């Protein structure tokens, strides 16, 4: 791989670069034959190395096509494209003419195609999109929607190389692209991010992770999610750092592919959701790792879902023979509304693990260090705010709370969203005095952030706060429960006048007697470790649980499904 001399990629300001196009022009002009992306296709097909010249000329093909059908700066372009080279080119091609690309979640085997395309139709209608860029296999179905907007199919593009342009009629304040909050499937809550905000995030986050031109980022993350789009695409392209990219569908089927890519290309940075640490620790056999070395890694960065110190320990122990050290395991708190990262931990020292009193957490709403003999909650630090980003914890009246008091996390930075696209009502609800209310509960201790759970997911039983992800983690450790396939939620109990707690678990067996014993073990373990009593443990088959577009368990949807099934059984 062609790389320049090692140097710290220092933050760049708006004064230096107004737009993403201006910032990336230098890569095309000064180092066109350097490697931009290595795309790892499924199976045994050869890896595809894409230089900066090839990348921007590929993007220019889309730019010229869009320009030819009348797409203007600030027009919205929806991308219904599988995880591929084409998706990279289509996204940057829209940027190249000053349009606003927005990646729609990929159609997977788990989604009903008719429902999927109906969501696309509604998205087009509600958002005022001017064009849809589509993979060839989707073009016919999209055309049948009669949405009134042009459908640009990859198959219709001219194979000739395009001429890149880096001076669209836009400014730093213009919207660069839209991201979606996790779980959304349309643009009703599209997060609008300006060129300036994205460049500020890239600059601040590069400083936080000590990015250098000697780094190499390896990613399998979906590009419709902020972690994949920013850390696994925009950041390396903007900063001129090589990216090794593979499909999330490929990785899930064959997780060793990521480890082999790290070894082959001497990867140094990789972002993972917490479940991936357990998945990799449990699903990859030793005979699939012959010759693999992970010693080149600087950081595996845990992000996007509740983080667990135990997941780090399992991963570190499993891959210690291949060069993984505990100091490689880092943490991050991020969200689309802040472009991506809010905090970063574990780069300069091991992430802090805070053992707090579970009783104080649930009844006093404080994160008091645990005394001897108390039931504890193990909290993994998200790290400190990245440069030019502030975090505070506020109460229901939006007033700041003292250290170690639990409240809602509020964020303020120079990489904040411009607003929710065409939804000023939602924007007004989320912002106050320049602060964004995240909907997450957490606390600050010694300048570092800890997340205790989602505000909307909190269960209150007899005046005690119960965080469902804690219960889910315990249930996942019970033999016979599919790890990561658990969901806890509250249901109203009119008899008791409070909420009762239900746990739904995917079972690894069909045997009724075995399922009964698994459910008993789940109840016992949860009671022993949290003093919480479950009112019901509901064992389900594979594929029962609903997930969000980003692959997380959809707590609300599963609660509704559970209530429907229980009502049908009783009635």
- Is residue 106 a part of any domain in this protein? no
Of 2, 16, 85, 1, the C-alpha closest to 238 is 16
Over residues 305-309, the mean pLDDT reads 86
Q: 519 and 505 in contact (C-beta within 8 Å)? A: yes
Same domain for 499 and 402?
A: no
At residue 183 the predicted structure's pLDDT band, cuts being 50, 70 and 90, is: very low
Same domain for 439 and 467?
A: no
CA distance 500 to 516: 20
pLDDT at 149: 94
Residue whose entry in the numeric block shows the structure tokens 């599988």: 82
Q: Tell me the pairing of strands 269-272 and 299-302.
A: parallel
The structure's pTM equals: 0.85
pLDDT at 530: 82
Of 533, 470, 462, 536, the C-alpha closest to 499 is 462
pLDDT at 3: 38
pLDDT at 71: 96
Q: What is the pLDDT of residues 10-41, one digit of tens each?
A: 444 444 668 999 999 999 999 999 999 999 99
Q: 205 and 345 in contact (C-beta within 8 Å)? A: no
pLDDT at 394: 98
pLDDT at 25: 95
CA distance 267 to 238: 18
Over residues 560-570, the mean pLDDT reads 89
At residue 185 the predicted structure's pLDDT band, cuts being 50, 70 and 90, is: very low
Same domain for 396 and 421?
A: yes
Q: For the chain, what is the domain count?
A: 2
| Domain containing residue 522: CATH number | 3.30.300.30
More confident of the two residues 548 and 301 = 301
pLDDT at 184: 41
CA distance 362 to 465: 4
At residue 256 the predicted structure's pLDDT band, cuts being 50, 70 and 90, is: very high
Over residues 493-513, the mean pLDDT reads 85
pLDDT at 6: 46
pLDDT at 154: 83
Q: What is the pLDDT of residues 513-540, one digit of tens each?
A: 999 999 999 999 998 888 789 999 999 9
pLDDT at 4: 37
- Is residue 316 a part of any domain in this protein? no
Same domain for 540 and 489?
A: yes
Range of the domain at 499: 458-570
Same domain for 446 and 534?
A: no
Same domain for 515 and 533?
A: yes
At residue 350 the predicted structure's pLDDT band, cuts being 50, 70 and 90, is: very high
- Is residue 564 a part of any domain in this protein? yes
pLDDT at 187: 46
Same domain for 405 and 498?
A: no
Q: What is the pLDDT of residues 47-75, one digit of tens each?
A: 999 999 999 999 999 999 999 999 999 99
CA distance 12 to 478: 49
Same domain for 462 and 449?
A: no
Does the pLDDT value for residue 107 go beyond 90?
A: no
End-to-end CA distance of the chain: 65
pLDDT at 160: 67
pLDDT at 463: 63
Instruction: Please state, rounded to an integer, the average pLDDT across all residues of the chain.
Output: 90
- Is residue 21 a part of any domain in this protein? no
Same domain for 480 and 383?
A: no
């Amino acid at each position: 791989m062609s790389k320049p001399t090692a140097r710290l990629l220092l933050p760049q300001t708006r004064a230096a670069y107004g737009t993403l196009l201006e910032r990336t022009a230098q890569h095309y002009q000064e180092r066109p034959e350097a490697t931009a992306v290595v795309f790892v296709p499924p199976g045994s097909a050869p890896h595809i190395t894409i230089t900066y010249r090839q990348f921007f000329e590929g993007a220019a093909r889309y730019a010229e096509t869009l320009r030819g059908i009348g797409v203007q700066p600030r027009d919205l372009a929806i991308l219904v494209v599988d995880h591929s080279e084409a998706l990279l080119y289509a996204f940057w091609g829209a940027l190249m003419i000053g349009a606003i690309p927005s990646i729609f979640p990929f159609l997977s085997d788990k989604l009903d195609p008719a429902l999927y395309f109906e969501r696309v139709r509604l998205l087009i209608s509600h958002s005022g999109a001017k064009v849809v860029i589509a993979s060839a296999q989707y073009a016919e179905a999209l055309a049948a929607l009669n949405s009134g907007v042009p459908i640009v199919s990859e198959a219709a593009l001219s194979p000739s190389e395009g001429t890149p342009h880096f001076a669209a009629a836009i400014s730093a304040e213009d919207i660069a692209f839209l991201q979606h909050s996790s779980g959304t499937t349309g643009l009703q809550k599209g997060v609008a991010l300006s060129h300036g905000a994205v460049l500020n995030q890239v600059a601040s986050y590069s400083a936080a992770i000590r990015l250098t031109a000697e780094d190499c980022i390896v990613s399998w993350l979906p590009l419709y999610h902020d972690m994949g789009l920013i850390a696994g695409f925009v950041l390396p392209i903007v900063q001129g750092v090589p990216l090794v990219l593979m499909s999330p569908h490929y990785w899930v089927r064959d997780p060793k592919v990521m480890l082999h890519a790290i070894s082959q290309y001497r990867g140094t940075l990789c972002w993972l959701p917490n479940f991936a640490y357990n998945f990799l620790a449990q699903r990859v056999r030793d005979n699939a790792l012959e010759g693999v070395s992970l010693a080149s890694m600087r950081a595996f960065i845990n992000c996007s879902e509740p983080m667990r110190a135990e997941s780090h320990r399992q991963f570190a122990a499993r891959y210690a023979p291949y060069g993984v050290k505990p100091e490689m395991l880092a943490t991050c708190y991020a969200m689309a509304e802040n472009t991506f990262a809010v905090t970063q931990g574990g780069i300069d020292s091991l992430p802090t693990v805070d053992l707090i009193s579970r009783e104080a957490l649930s009844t006093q709403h404080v994160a008091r260090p645990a005394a001897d003999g108390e039931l504890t909650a193990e909290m993994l630090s998200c790290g400190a705010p990245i440069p030019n980003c502030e975090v505070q914890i506020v109460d229901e009246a939006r007033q700041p709370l003292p250290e170690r008091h639990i409240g809602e996390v509020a964020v303020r930075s120079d990489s904040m969203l411009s607003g929710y696209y065409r939804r000023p009502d939602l924007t007004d609800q989320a912002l106050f005095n320049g602060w964004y209310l995240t909907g997450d509960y957490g606390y600050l201790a010694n300048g570092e952030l800890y997340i205790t759970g989602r505000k909307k997911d909190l269960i209150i039983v007899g005046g005690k706060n119960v965080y469902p992800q804690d219960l889910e983690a315990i249930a996942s450790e019970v033999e016979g429960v599919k790890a990561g396939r658990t969901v806890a939620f509250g249901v109203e109990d009119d008899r008791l006048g409070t909420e009762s707690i239900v746990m739904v678990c995917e079972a690894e067996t069909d045997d009724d007697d075995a399922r009964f014993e698994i459910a008993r073990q789940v109840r016992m373990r949860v009671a022993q470790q949290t003093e919480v009593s479950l009112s019901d443990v509901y064992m389900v088959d594979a594929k029962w649980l609903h997930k969000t577009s980003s692959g997380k368990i959809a707590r609300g949807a599963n609660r509704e499904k559970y209530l429907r099934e229980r009502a049908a059984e009783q009635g």
